[in-house]
Amino acid sequence: MVGNYDKSKNLEQKKAAAFRAVQMVQDNLIVGLGSGSTMQIFVDLISERIKRERLHLSFVPASKKIEKYSLPFGLNLLDINYVDRIDIAFDGADRIDEQNNLIKGGGGSLFRERQILDMAQSRVIVVDSSKFVSNFAKEIIPIEIVPYNYRWTVHKINLLGFIGNIRGEATPFMTDNGNYIYDAYNLNNFDVTETYHSLKLVAGVVDVGLFKENDYQIIYSHE
Ligand code: 5RP
């Protein structure tokens, strides 16, 4: 449903899925740390494992928010500009369709999340059952856009069949990169790859919250 990001739901499922994800981490890895409430649970659980098993792990955070959340746990956090590899990345998602395409960016961190997922040698998406949908018609696709001349950028996005709102409206939400988020949706179903490329070609668009990859491992729980 349009705009329905109820993150308080399915906490037990998120915990169960995050628990399974944490078991996949081996010692001495550089781990990409996505953003969102599921990743916060992941941080809680991996911190316990690090202490219990004395693991040597480093983490590359995908947002200022997850970085701030992780600091009190004493995780070894690395700046992405100073790492030459990420071994495994974990992240959440807002929606997953029947072809395993993802919508991400509900927390506004899509650009940095994509950078980390791109760089990682393996990728794990951790979700609860509320994230699964048959297709992305009417689902919100967060689009990160440059503030300069943003109304023209929105106009060009609208011409491609997507309508929506600037997140925060009068006081726009700012991403970690200093940009706006246009929360867009299409009333009809659409081809994910084609649409990603069309939206990405609009001048002013930084990134589009559509992720199409065949090599994501998806961890979920219905518990
Ligand atoms: C942030 C994201 C998150 O991965 C997504 O919003 C999932 O969040 P949560 O784990 O809180 O359900 O894409 O930009």
- Per DSSP, the residues of 82-127 read G-S-EEEEEE--SEE-TT--EE--TTS-HHHHHHHHHHEEEEEEEE
Ligand 1 in contact with 164 (CB < 6 A)?
A: no
Ligand 1 in contact with 40 (CB < 6 A)?
A: no
Mutation choice for ligand 1 from 10, 94, 112, CB with most ligand atoms inside 8 A: 94
Task: Read off the pLDDT of residues 113-159 as tens digits, 9 standing for 90 and up.
Answer: 999 999 999 999 999 999 999 999 999 999 999 999 999 999 999 99
Residue 2 pLDDT level (bands cut at 50, 70, 90): very low
Two tokens, residue 107: 């927390």
pLDDT above 80 (res 5): no
Task: Read off the pLDDT of residues 84-126 as tens digits, 9 standing for 90 and up.
Answer: 999 999 999 999 999 999 999 999 999 999 999 999 999 999 9
> What's the rounded Cα separation, in Å, for the pair 223 and 203?
44
CA of 83 to the centre of ligand 1 (A): 24
Two tokens, residue 209: 């919250």
Instruction: Kindly report the protein residue whose alpha carbon is nearest to atom 1 of ligand 1.
Output: 107
Ligand 1 in contact with 33 (CB < 6 A)?
A: no
| Residue 109 CA, closest ligand 1 atom number | 14
| Residue 209 CA, closest ligand 1 atom number | 13
CA of 149 to the centre of ligand 1 (A): 28
- Report the pLDDT value the prediction gives residue 1, as an integer from 0 to 100: 34
Q: Which of 53, 67, 98, 113 is catalytic?
A: 113
Task: Enumerate domains of the chain plus CATH numbers.
Answer: 11-133+213-221 (3.40.50.1360), 141-209 (3.30.70.260)
- Sign, CA torsion 191/193/196/197: negative
DSSP 13: H
Reduce the DSSP state of residue 182 to 3 states and report it: strand
**Residue 113 known to be catalytic:** yes
> What's the rounded Cα separation, in Å, for the pair 173 and 186?
22
Instruction: Kindly report the protein residue whose alpha carbon is nearest to atom 2 of ligand 1.
Output: 105
Task: Read off the pLDDT of residues 175-189 as tens digits, 9 standing for 90 and up.
Answer: 999 999 999 999 999
This prediction has a pTM of 0.94
Give DSSP secondary structure letters for 29-57. -EEEE--SHHHHHHHHHHHHHHHHHT---
CB atoms within 10 A of CB 84: 6
Ligand 1 in contact with 106 (CB < 6 A)?
A: yes
Ligand 1 in contact with 142 (CB < 6 A)?
A: no
Two tokens, residue 50: 């690090």
Ligand 1 in contact with 107 (CB < 6 A)?
A: yes
